[in-house]
Copies of this chain bind each other. A is one copy, B any other.
Amino acid sequence: VTSEASSSASPVAPQDSAAPVVAVDCNGADLGPAEVAAGAAIAASQGTRVILFGPASELGEQPDGVEVIDAPVSIAKAEDPVSAARSTPEASIVQAARAVAQGRAQALVCAGGTGAALAAGSFNIKRARGIYRPALAIPLPVPRRPVTLLDVGANAEARLEHLVQFAFMGAALARTVLGVPRPRVGLLSNSVEAARGSALVIETHDALLARVAGGIEAFEFVGNVEGGDVVAGVADVIVTDGFTGNIALKLMEGVSQTILGAVRDAAMSSTRAKLGGMLLRGALGGFREELDPEAHGGAYLLGLRRLGVVPHGRFTRTGFAQAILRAERGAREDLVGQTQRALEAAGALRRSPMSAQAASLRQTG
């Protein structure tokens, strides 16, 4: 067990794709840091190497493949995660992000809240070259029709070029981590018609069509999709701005919980109903499993130089293990590099001011 609080960040080191290490922030989980460590032990038993950042005194002995860095300070519940991430270099999430930035680990998992992960990740791991904005993607537990929605809240506003990149980022996630060979990507709108929707959606639709004209390997663009299509299996990835995506995600969670709660209440309302509920329980079990958000590891922080995964704070060890295993898979399959190459091939990378100038000089010269 060592302590580390240096604030010097070196550039991201080249990736050892053979054996990625996952840096895990243990603070912030509802069940406590030890539950995250228990998840890490499960992942380690499947061969994944993990560095845990959390209170060593609460984490105890770890199995082979799991290292502990004592980092008791948590900013998981900070009211302003951005300033907390800046001003608290000793915080576990900041140390974990720095370990990734320094090449000691190749992916980040943060049990301590999306805001802290986003801030610490952006400051330390930094955006990947040519990416305008990071995005949060979440694989939704829709029975038989899994779909990944992004952005679910990294940015409250989006521009055309952001949404275009989100399509490529989400497709690369679906391909590498979720195992969809050629993802179908849709653009969330109030109509399937290309000419309707907000001004942003109309221009993004056209830009995406232009980027994929002639066919690309990265994904298939299925056009605009409506709210109901999120659960209809028409797309593997659905792109939207972080404002709309965040509302959609929380609405889905709320509606699911409300309906399942009402079914549960109905099954407790009389002796007859109770018996019915008991008999039905087994058959509903499989369905509940499909709805289980822990199976998908949580939210994915895309657009940085390394992949981040943010399991929900209420997860158990099973969910934390999934998050770590999927983070490792994303690093091993080079999610970031695949995103980059697809964006480059489509001409959708942000050009640095210098290269934009050079290109403009070439054109006019």
A283–B273 touching, CB < 8 Å: yes
Is A188's beta carbon under 8 Å from chain B? yes
Bound-complex Cα distance A260 to B231 (A): 13
The one of B191, B231, B243, B278 in contact with A190, judged by C-beta atoms closer than 8 angstroms, is: B243
Q: How many copies are assembled?
A: 2
Is A279's beta carbon under 8 Å from chain B? yes
- Interface of A with B (CB < 8 Å)? 142-143, 153, 156-157, 188-191, 196-199, 201, 226-232, 240, 242-244, 246-256, 258-260, 262-263, 265-267, 269-270, 272-273, 275-284, 286-287, 290
Bound-complex Cα distance A75 to B193 (A): 19
Bound-complex Cα distance A231 to B253 (A): 10
Using Cβ atoms and an 8 Å threshold, which residues of chain B touch A286? 266
B263–A287 touching, CB < 8 Å: yes
8 residue pairs A–B, Cβ–Cβ below 8 Å = A153-B190, A189-B247, A191-B246, A227-B247, A227-B248, A227-B253, A229-B250, A231-B251
Using Cβ atoms and an 8 Å threshold, which residues of chain B touch A255? 230-231, 251-252, 255-256, 259
Bound-complex Cα distance A235 to B240 (A): 26
The 3 closest A-B pairs by CB, nearest first: A276-B279, A227-B250, A276-B280
